[in-house]
Every structure is written in structure tokens, then in C-alpha cells.
Structure 1
Amino acid sequence: MVTRVNGFSGMDIDSMVKSMMAAKRVPLDKLNQDKQLLQWQREGYRELNSKLYDFRTNKLITKYGGNAALNAQKAVVTGNTTAVKAEALATATGVDMKVSVTQLATRTTYETPGLGQGKPVTTSLASLDGVNLSSMSSAEQTEYLKKGFDISINGETFKDKDGKSIFNGLTSISTLVATINASSKANAIASYDEVTGKLTIASKTSGKDGIVTMGTPASSNTLLGLFSKSNLNVVETNKLTGVTTATTVTELINKRDGTSLVDADVKDIKFTINGKELVVKGSDSITTIMNTINGAGAQVSASFTTDGTLKLVGDSGGDVNLGGDSYGFMKLFNGRQSNPADDNSIKKTIDGVNAKVSINDVAIDNVNSNTFTINGVQLTLQELTKKDAASADIPVFIKTQTDPDKAVESIKGFIEDYNSLIVSLNAKIDEAKYRDFRPLTDEQKTALKDDDIKTWTEKAKSGLLKNDDIIKSVLSEMRGIITEKLGPLSTLGITTGNYMEKGKLVIADEAKLKNAISANPQLAMDLLQGPTSAPKEGILDKMADKVSAAIDKISERAGTNRFSMDLTSTFKEESVMGKKMKLYNTQITSMLTMLNNAETRYYKQFSAMETAMNKLQSQSNSLFSTSS
């Protein structure tokens, strides 16, 4: 490090070095200014990207691109107004309809017997299995969670890449339902009723053709059995051979694991039955275990059959709710048996049916959904018009009318948004450019007032997108689309403004627009949204394609996010301007290093000069003192 000193020579070395460095800093200042201009230009492109994205996505596609925006047809419902909801589409044929409904469409549905109340959707499958995970050690939890709960719906088995069930003790009922609903292969809709505790699986396809094929995999850990009230009345273990009621817990573990433990090696197993805590020790025999359960006041009777099955039965048909480390306890007896609710005689499947509906006294065939379209009117069946054979039919009467107001407002809105965009784009390419106003350096800012800095910066930013080729291109292409359709647009009373307005659209005659839509509602839809046979030929879709192309070009050049209108989004470094920004940063870093080296060198030189002058002065003083 160079010591920067002002010697006794009286020279102001700092000022001299600063003066010498000023000229050398000019290229660095220019680089920083060029970098700032590039940054401002990128921000200008990001603002442009935001406006184009908003116009394409939120206006052309979402706001004006849907049939509802330009639909001038209106359905008027009288009679039994609660039975059927009607919405006239743009293709409505104008046929008056009398609608009678004697049967609603339903979905083929499988439902479990149910758990009753008290099991919210946040309940884990472990809890339904009678296991309290929080009472287990980490090792016990890990062992238990290897146990998956199997289910098959329309051939989808919900297995991971290793063939294991994706549902385990940690899975909540809500996660189970969401996972089933998200599966396209299962093609089913799952729901859970907290009132009845029923898990319901319904076909996504309504009507008699809907299918719900529930499979019970060859596994003792079936998922459906967890959602049965009968699961809580009787709990049985799998058969265990080679044991008697005199067999102890330690002996059961040794038999299961092939070990040679003694009673002192066996950890106590703590579990609950209907909230009563029980503990079994290594020395406890099966007889002792049964006596402990029967005497615990848990309202459960335990027995051990000759075929090696431990059976727990709720007194008077009551529940058998297991908790704590019940999994570890059941493992002593070869695990818990599959739930009897998995048996085909207990599960309940309700076949779906088609709706029975007649229009103008003619039965409509194959109505497999409660929402369908006929005569250009979308009907949603909500309830029966004839409740039963003894009831009178109270039909629904539907008439279609032309209501141009909404379509007119949509067209006016499109024109307003289109004009706003082209005014904004024209302002960018026509903006004045002040070449003499470059970005201010930090040193220059110190000499100016805040208002002066603001005014200068505004002029420095002005015109950065003047005559921009991307903007000029998209403007030209949008004007071209309008020019091609001027004939049909004029039929609607729409024309372009004068030359000075640079392509703005004008509704010259709003009454003409409204009358044209009333006379031919399809005309405006075909013109703006495209006819049914060629939907991409409408003005809106053509403009959306041109704007999308412009957004892509801006992204390639400036690194903007083509899928967002966020003005704070990060620029992509691999764009044209991103690479240029990298180059500026590299050059600036190199130049700073060079300037620092030059400054250090100057100070070293002045330091050496000061040292020499100091030595000369000392010699001179010595000579004068000797001569005297």
C-alpha cells in the first residue's frame, strides 16, 4: 500500500494526482454512461413487454376472446324457473323450448360404510388404523411407515417407482382425496363426509356409462377398510401357529424375529384401547395380556382362539379404538387382519343413470350429464319438474332474445384498449432523443440541484426506443389486420381515424353497431373471434399471434419474461442485451483495475520524489551548518 503524503515541499499531491487521473477516467465515465443507457433501454423493453402481454393475455384472449364477451343472445326462463338454468350461446337457433325433467343424471359411485362423526379431514391414516405416531420412537415410526395402504381405482394403484403405495400412516384424509382427484388415470372424484365418515369415489363421467372399478389388492393393508364403522367393532390379528396362551411376549418376539432375547431385553409396549392405557412386558403371557385387557375397563373383551388369533370385541357392539403403539402390539400376533369392510358383501356401489328429459314433448336420447347444449342453449338440470308418477309436470319454458348491449360494450372496450396500446407504442417510437444529454456521473450530480438532475435524467432517458424496429413492426402488423377487415368493420359502423391518429379505431355510428348486432349477432363474433370453421381467422386471434411474436423478439433481445407482465422480473443474462451488459461489466472492472494501478503508481512516484527532496534538503542543511 502506498502512503499518500503531502511533503514539506508544499505541493498538494492529492490534488495533483486527482487532476492527472481526471483525464484517464473519461473512458470509464463513458462506459458507465453507456451501461446506464443500456439498462434504461432494457427497462423500457420490459415496460413494453408488460403492456403487450397485458393486451394479448388479459384483453385479446381472456376479456374479449371468450364467446360470452360478444354473445348477443339471451335466454329468458319462465315457468318452473328453479328446475333448469339456461344460457343462450351465440349459436342459439331461436327455437322456443318447453323442458320437462323426470330424472337427473348421476355418477356411478362407490362409498364405504363410514366411520361416523369425529374424524375430520385432517385425520391421518395412522389414526384410522388405531396407531398414535406421536407415542412411537423414531425407529418404531420408521418401521410402521413402511406399511402402505393399498387401493386400486379403475386400474390406478397409486404406487411409487418402487411399487410401494404412496399412501401411508402420515397421509391425511384430505391429502388422500386430493391425490385421487388429481389422477387422470383413476378418472374419479373422491370426497369425504365428516358427518358420516364415508369415503366416496365417483366416476368423473356421469350417466350410465360412468365406471368406478374398485380393486382390493392382495395385501392385508387395504385402504378402504380404514373407512368402515365395522372396523371399530371387532379387531382380529392374523393367525399365529405354534403358540399357546402360556406363550410370553418375549417368546412371541423371538419367534417372529428369530432372536434369543430374555425378558429383561424386551422393552415395554404401551398402547391404549378406548383411551385406557395398557402396558405389556416381556414376561407377560397371552393369558396375562387377555386378563389385563378384560380388566382395564375399556369396554372390550379379549380372547385367543385355537387357531392362534387374538380377538378384541367391543362390549354390546361398541367400538374398539386402538392407540399408542398398537402397531407394535399387533405385530406380536402376526399383525392385524384385513378389515371386513373390504368384503364385496359390505361395500356399496351405486350405478349412475342418464337424465330423463324431454323438450317440446320429445324425449332426448343419451343425456348422460345434467349440463348439455341443445338448439344453441346450454341447459343445466337442477331439479325435477315432475317429482313422481302422481305429481303434475311443471315444465320450464325457454325463449331466446337478442340483446346487443353486452356485445356493444365489449367491442367498445376492445377499441379503447387497442387505441390505448397503439397510442403508447407510437409515443415510444416518436419520442424525442436528446443526444447531448447523457447520463450524469456521480461527480456531475454533486454540482446540480435535485430538480436539475431530474430534468436532465428525463431527457437522457427520452428516445431510447425511438424508431424501434420491434415496435414499428407490431404496429404495422396490427394495422394490416385492421385494414384487411375494414369492409366488414364498416358494416358495424367502425372505421379508422384520420391519418394523424395513426391507425386508431373509431365507432363512427354506435346505433349502426347495435342494429347490426341485433340483425346478425354472428357477424361481430365471426369478424372478431373468427367463424367456427376457422377460429384463428378472427381479428383478436390474429392480433394475439402478432403480439406474441413481438413479445418473443423483445425477450430474445432484452431478456424479459415472455410469460409475465411483472415490471420487477429479472432479466435473462443470455439475451442480446444481457451479453452486452456482461461485456460492459467486464470492461468496467478491467478499467477500474487499470486506473487503480495508475493512481498507485503516481503516488509512488510522488512519494519517491518527496523522499529525494527530503534527502537533498538534509544534505543542504548539513553543508550550510559546516560552513558556518
Structure 2
Amino acid sequence: MRITGLASGMDTESMIKDLMKAQRIPLDKITQKKQYTEWQLEDYRSINRKLNDFSNNLFDTMMKQSTFLAKTVNVSSPDAVSIKSVSGTSEFSGTISVSRLASQASMQSNDSIGKNIDTKLTMSKLGYIGTTGSVTINAIDAGGDLKAENTKTIIFDPSTDTLESVLKKINSESGVSAFYDSFSGKIAMTAKNSGNVVGDVEMQVSGDLATFFNLSTNNVIAEQDGNGKSGVNSKFIFNGLETERSSNSFQINGFEISLKQVTTDPTDSSKTNSVSFSSAPDTDKIVDAVKKFVDNYNKLIEELNAKVREVKYRDFQPLSTEQKADMKEKEIELWEEKAKSGTLKNESILTSMLQSMRSALNSVVEGTSGTLRLSDIGITTSKDYLTNGKLEIDETKLREAINADPNKVYEVFAKPGSTEKDTGLASKIRTSIIQSRTKLTDKAGITGAPNSTFSIGRLLKGYDDQITRFEARLKTIESRYYKQFSAMESAIQRANAQSAQLTNAFSNN
């Protein structure tokens, strides 16, 4: 705490503060530059994130062949058979008749283990003997095979595990579903996967728990004893070929077929109701994907063009803490809105990328059916120069192109190629974005990156160093001012003391 001005009567504290304000002007300018650079950094990173999102979306949609090969399948009897395209690349049509649906193998206890048992009682209380327990189960897999490597051994503690918890472990850890039937007092097990394993069983059970549950060692023995059944394959005729599958759902040529009902009388082959089916391009789905790409592209270039053309208000510099203290909140908001404007005006990385993307969309692709352009599928660049290259869609022409050859539409966007002419337009755009993002990352880094790893970060570090040095210098100057004013006060005190002595001396005479 300093007490000043006692001898001189001057407000030296305020005088020093005013003197220091003048000294702080260069520091305020450095602080303003730092603040503006931080705003720039935020804008660079925001643009970089938007480019990353657009690039990822481009890769997940317009660069995937499956987007353009989406198909609808018309089925004459969808209640009996359903068909959908998963990865089909060619048209799919014909007939299918179902003579048998697939079913799972099952088995039940040979004798009751007790009716109306409280399933929350521990296994020990239910009469299970032994301090530890286990059951080993193997069941048919989704491929229709019984493999040794699929064998699961479930371990439980009879003193703490209840019948309910043991069954839950079996259901979650093995290839079977098990439950206790309180009416019959039996345990029932059903294979999770359907089908018949030729020359083998579909379910095997062993261990102390299997004995306690009165279960046979496999479903074939259980069936012989009247307490089980074997799995059954689905049986059908597909385009004249009689065949089987272990499941009612399977794939042929990239199309998923689900059998729901028998369409053929198993006792009279003449009573066959064939289900016909045929595929076609899913035009609506493909059009929606192209529309979404165009909308996202137009939104992106609109935002980028707005940034590189944003007005820069040079008279509106970042506010200092002292300036903000004298302003209202709304005034600060309006001031900073203009101060932040133009941080990326004429940014060379962005302007170059915009030009590169526009050139890519106006280029040609050497497809398998000849030279292709966006205009061939109904997409053109707007003639309004104020839109800065936004795309427009002629939906009628786009639908015609999809119906005629969806692969052609795919090649326009994402045809893989070894040269620029062979490469699809979306691939060219993504390449341009990736290259630009690398430059933006070198300049502005990513969130959490050390300042030393990118150019703006190094610039900010330089400002921080300047501010630290300048603040140390200001402390030295302020101390010097106080010493100087203190010396002045001391001199005035001495002068006043001498004046008083002289006055006293003359008054005594």
C-alpha cells in the first residue's frame, strides 16, 4: 500500500496511472493482435471441421457403389416370401416355391424336476449336489454346422446362483435358449439357429447340471425318447432348382430372401403356388442421395464464399478490458460482431479449394460407356453468377439416367481410376478437400494440439512472450515513476522544513 502526495498535495497515484496508460498503448495493440488471431484460429478450425464432415459424408454416400445400386424388389406374394437387396449389383428376377420352412432342434427334460418351483431359490436349495457346477453345451451355428470350437461351458455357484440366474447364463453364453416350465416341471431347450446337421445332432448337452435337469445328451436321443426333435432345413425351388438352406433367411446374388409360408403342398407336388419376383433400381433412394449431396455441397460453398468475401472493418479492433468496462453488454456484442468480421477474407487456401472443386465438377469422367459429365445426369452449375457455382438438379433427367443405367450415375461421381480423367467427380472433390484440410491443419492445428505444432499457434506463442516481456517492463517503469515522485515528495519535505526554519529564524529577530 502506497500513500503519496502528502508533501506536494498532488494526486500522484492518478498521475502515475495516467502515465502508465500511455505506456500501455503498445501492449494493448499486441493484446488486440493476439485476440484477433485467436478469432482467426477459431474460424479456421470451424471451417476445417465442416470440411471434414462433408468429406466423410461424401465417402459414406456418393463414393459407395451400394448407394447407386439400391434396388426395390417386387414380390407377387410378400406374405409368403420377402426379398430385399443387400449388395446386389445386377437385376434379380424369377420364381420361388416353398415346400418346407426351416425349424430349430429342441429337447426337454425326460422327467419333471418339480412343478411350480420358486426360480429365485439357489440351486443348492433346489437339491443340486456339489459345491461348484457346470454344464457344457454345443449347438448348430448360423452356417448350419455343429463345430467343436462353438462348445460353451457355463460355470455357476450352486450356493449363490438361482435357477433363474443359471438359465439366464445359459441363454446369454450358449447357442441355445432354455426356460423352466412350471406347469410340467421340465426344462426346455431350443437351438437358437435352425436347420439340420446331416449325419450329426444339432444340440449336445453334458455335465452335472444336464443330469440334474434330466436332459438327454443330445436332441436325437431326446427325440427317440419322445422329448425332442431334430432341426429341419428350409426346402424350396428357386428358378427351377430344388435346394435347401439351414435358415429361412439367406442371400443369393446379394439379395436377402426370407421364407415365411409354405407355398407347395408337400403331399401333392402339382399344387404348387410359385411366387414371382423382379428387381428394379430404387430410383427414389438414389435421387434422395444425389439431392442430399447437392444440398450439402451448395451449403458448404455458400458458407465458404461468405467467409472469404466477408467485410473486414479495420476501424473496429478487439476491445481491451478497460474499454469493455465503459460499455454496455449490447454495445460490446455489436462492436465485436464487426471486429470479428473478415478474419478469413481472401484466404488463399479456401479460395484455391473453391476453384478446385468447381473445376472438378465441370470436368469429364472416362466411364465404361464413354465420356461422362454431370450434365449428362441432369446436374448443372447455376447460371446466376451471384450463387458462386451452386449446383442445380433437373430431377426428371436424373431419374431417367438412373432408370437407364444406375452404374453410369455411380461412375460420374465415384468411378475409381488411375488418372484424373478416369476418376469420378466426388473423388476429385474429396481429394481437393483432403489436400486443403492438410494445409489448414498445418496453419491452425486441431483442438488440443500444442501451439508449437502449427503456424498460428507459434504466432500466438510469440504474442504471449511479447506480452510477458512488456508487462515486466511496465512494472519496472511504474516502479521508476513511484521512486521519482517519492524523491520529489522528499525534496519538497526538505524544502518545506528549511522554509519553516528560516521563517522561525527571521520571526525571532
**TM-score under structure 2 normalisation?**
0.71
Deviation at 1:523, TM superposition (A): 1.9
Q: What is the rounded CA distance, in whole Å, between the counterparts of 2:418 and 2:238 in structure 1?
A: 28
AA aligned opposite 2:240: D
- Note if 1:491 corresponds to 2:490: no
> Which amino acid is the alignment partner of residue 33 of structure 1?
Q
Aligned residues: 465
Give the drift of 1:15. 1.9
On the 8 A contact 2:99/2:236 being kept in 1, the answer is yes
Pick closer, same or farther for the CA change 1:68–1:343 going to 2, 3 Å: closer
User: What is the Cα deviation at residue 9 of structure 1?
Assistant: 0.9
Report the equivalent of 1:249: none
Distance (whole Å) between structure 2 residues aligned to residue 439 and residue 506 of structure 1: 41
Alpha-carbon displacement from aligned partner over 1:519-576 (angstroms, at most 9, x marks no partner): 2233223323437999x94433443444344444434432325xxxxxxxx5655541
- Residues 558-610 of structure 1: per-residue CA shift (max 9 Å, x gap): 2325xxxxxxxx56555413344344334433433332343234224323432
Equivalent residue number for residue 53 of structure 1: 52
**CA deviations over 1:325-354 (Å, ceiling 9, x no partner):** xxxxxxxxxxxxxxxx89789999998765
Q: Residue 275 of structure 2: which of 387, 396, 402 is its match?
A: 396
Deviation of the 1:491 alpha carbon: 1.7
Is 2:318 the counterpart of 1:439? yes
2:82 paired residue among 75, 82, 85: 85
**Aligned mates of 2:37, 2:405 — CA distance in 1:** 52
Matches within 5 A, 1:419-568: 419-448=298-327, 450-485=329-364, 487-498=372-383, 500-507=386-393, 509-530=394-415, 537-560=423-446
Q: 1:448 to 1:403 in 2, by over 3 A?
A: same
> Structure 1 residue 441: deviation in Å?
1.2
Q: Is the 8 A contact 1:106 1:353 kept in 2?
A: yes
Distance 1:71 1:466, change over 3 A: same
Residues 1:386 and 1:597: Cα distance change in structure 2 (over 3 Å): farther
| DSSP-derived class of the 2:358 partner | helix
Q: Which whole-Å CA distance do the structure 1 matches of 2:11 and 2:91 have between them?
A: 96
Distance change (3 Å), C-alpha of 1:50 and 1:230: same
Cα offset, 1:439, TM superposition: 1.0
Q: How far, CA to CA, are the matches of 1:416 and 1:581 in structure 2?
A: 37
**Corresponding residue number in structure 2 for 1:416:** 295
1:15 aligns to what? 14
Residues 75 and 441 (structure 1 numbering): CA distance in 2 closer, same or farther, change over 3 Å? same
Q: Deviations over 1:36-56 (max 9, x none)?
A: 112111211232123223322
Structure 2 match to 1:360 = 239
Q: State how far apart, in whole Å, the 1-side matches of 2:235 and 2:133 are.
A: 43
Q: For 2:257, give the aligned amino acid.
A: L
In structure 1, the partner of 2:93 is: 96
Deviations 1:366-413 (A, max 9, x none): x45544444664323345444754795544321234553332333222
* Closer/same/farther in 2, CA of residues 432 and 13 from structure 1, 3 Å limit: same
Shift of 1:457: 1.9
Cα distance between partner residues in 1 of 2:299 and 2:264 = 54
Cα distance 1:463–1:533, how it changes in 2: closer, same or farther (>3 A)? closer
Q: Say if 1:71 and 1:89, in contact at 8 Å, map to a contact too.
A: no
Aligned counterpart in structure 2 of residue 381 of structure 1, from 259, 283, 302: 259
Note closer, same or farther for the CA distance 1:191–1:364 as it changes in structure 2 (3 Å cut).
closer
For structure 1, which segment, 599-608 or 107-116, has the greater mean C-alpha deviation from structure 2 after superposition? 107-116
Native 8 Å contact 1:94 1:375 kept in 2: no
Contact 2:381–2:390 at 8 Å: present in 1 too?
yes
Assess if the C-alpha contact under 8 Å between 1:75 and 1:377 holds in 2: no
TM-score by length of structure 1 reads: 0.60
1:624/1:473 CA distance change after superposition, 3 Å = same
Rate the CA distance shift 1:554–1:532 in 2: closer, same or farther, 3 A: closer
Structure 1 residues 401 and 607: CA distance shift in structure 2, 3 A? same
Deviations 1:8-31 (A, max 9, x none): 412111222112212321232122
Amino acid at match of 1:557: K
**Match for residue 610 of structure 1?**
489
Measured at CA, do residues 525 and 580 of structure 1 come closer, stay the same or move farther in structure 2, by a change above 3 Å? same
1:38 aligns with 2:41: no
Maintained 8 Å contact 2:107/2:219: no
Aligned-partner Cα distance in 1 for 2:34–2:323: 17
Q: Which residue of 1 aligns with 2:72?
A: 74
CA distance in 2, matches of 1:471, 1:128: 70
1:110-149 → structure 2 map (5 Å cutoff): none
Give the 3 Å change call, closer, same or farther, for CA 28–174 of structure 1 in structure 2.
farther
What does residue 584 of structure 1 align with? 463
* Distance verdict in 2 for CA 1:342–1:384, change over 3 Å: closer
Matches of residues 125-524 of structure 1 in structure 2 within 5 Å? 155=149, 228=209, 231=212, 355-364=234-243, 367=245, 370-374=248-252, 377-386=255-264, 388-389=266-267, 393-402=272-281, 404-448=283-327, 450-485=329-364, 487-498=372-383, 500-507=386-393, 509-524=394-409
Amino acid at match of 1:379: I
Q: Is the 8 A contact 1:496 1:503 kept in 2?
A: yes
Shift of residue 416 of structure 1?
1.7
Contact 2:109 2:213 survives alignment (8 Å):
no
Partner of 1:251: none
Provide runs of 4+ in structure 1 moved above 6 Å: 106-118, 147-153, 156-159, 165-179, 196-201, 211-216, 341-353, 531-534
Q: Deviations over 1:493-529 (max 9, x none)?
A: 222223554332222x332222222222332233234
In structure 1, how many angstroms separate the alpha carbons of the residues matched to 2:17 and 2:335? Answer: 26
Q: Is the Cα contact below 8 Å between 2:97 and 2:274 reproduced in 1?
A: yes
Show structure 2 runs of 5+ residues with no match.
139-147, 182-186, 223-227, 366-371
Q: 1:158 to 1:596 in 2, by over 3 A?
A: farther
- Post-superposition shift, 1:158? 10
Counterpart of 1:363 in structure 2: which amino acid? E
Instruction: Give the equivalent residue in structure 2 for 1:566.
Output: none
The percentage of aligned residue pairs carrying the same residue is 33
- State the secondary structure of the residue aligned to 1:54: helix
Summarize deviations over 1:258-289 as a string: whole Å, max 9, x none: xxxxxxxxxxxxxxxxxxxxxxxxxxxxxxxx
* Cα RMSD after superposing both structures: 4.9
Residue identity matched to 2:377: L
Q: Which runs of 5+ in 1 are unaligned?
A: 132-143, 160-164, 181-188, 217-223, 234-340, 562-569
CA displacement 1:214-258 (0-9 Å, x = unmatched): 999xxxxxxx868x475489xxxxxxxxxxxxxxxxxxxxxxxxx
Distance 1:586 1:524, change over 3 A: same
Measure the CA separation in 2 of the matches of 1:586 and 1:375: 66
User: Per-residue deviation at 1:492?
Assistant: 1.3
Find the residue that maps to 1:427 and give its secondary structure. Answer: helix
Matched AA of 1:46: R
The structure-2 alpha-carbon separation of the partners of 1:158 and 1:369, relative to structure 1 and needing over 3 Å to count, comes to closer
Q: Is the 8 A contact 2:156 2:166 kept in 1?
A: no
Measured in 2, the distance between the counterparts of 1:428 and 1:108 equals 66
